[in-house]
Structure 1
Amino acid sequence: MPEQRHRLNPRKLLLSKWTARQVQQRERHFLVNDWLRDEQGEVLQVELQAVLTRRSQWIDWRELQDSSRWQQGWH
């Protein structure tokens, strides 16, 4: 079964809320805190911060399009 993708505008990701489909280290809810852009202003990566632990991680923004791993909003 092919993975489903969210349609996202990378420029609207800042401060968006996400729920991980699989909880790891008690972390489920995340907030996009920052982004990394190239010289042309295109978003390359986003910084996700766990709401509970405040741990941050950088991921390719396209990973958020995988609905088997991420759900937009806090659920």
Structure 2
Amino acid sequence: MNGAKHRLTPRKLLLSKWTAARPQNREKHFLVTELFCDEDGTVLQIELQAVLSKRCQRLDWRVLQDAEQWHMGWR
């Protein structure tokens, strides 16, 4: 199923839960902890925090649309 995408509303991503399809460093579950917007309020990036390690990474929110990398919710 190549190119499978989640339909997402960027504004509703805050505090949403995600599971990495291919976990690294035992980091499987993530939480969106912050939204980064432009002057018009358009969401550009998110901060994704690993539940296990509390490590944060800043990503383009669109990466979450890739169902081959991310699953909605915690599995």
TM range (shorter): over 0.9
- 1:68 counterpart SS class: coil
TM-score norm. by structure 2 comes to 0.97
Aligned residue pairs total 75
Gapped runs of 5+ residues in structure 2?
none
Gapped runs of 5+ residues in structure 1?
none
* 2:20 matched residue in structure 1: 20
1:39 positional shift? 0.4
1:2 positional shift? 3.1
- 1:3 counterpart SS class: coil
Look up the equivalent residue of 2:38 and give its one-letter code.
Answer: D
1:26-45, Cα deviation, whole Å (9 max, x unpaired): 10000000010000000000
Percent of aligned positions that are identical:
60
Look up the equivalent residue of 1:68 and give its one-letter code.
Answer: E
Give runs of ≥4 in structure 1 deviating > 3 Å.
none
RMSD: 0.8
- The CA distance in 2 between the partners of 1:11 and 1:19, in whole Å, is 19
1:26-72, Cα deviation, whole Å (9 max, x unpaired): 10000000010000000000000000000000000000000000000
* 1:49 matched residue in structure 2: 49
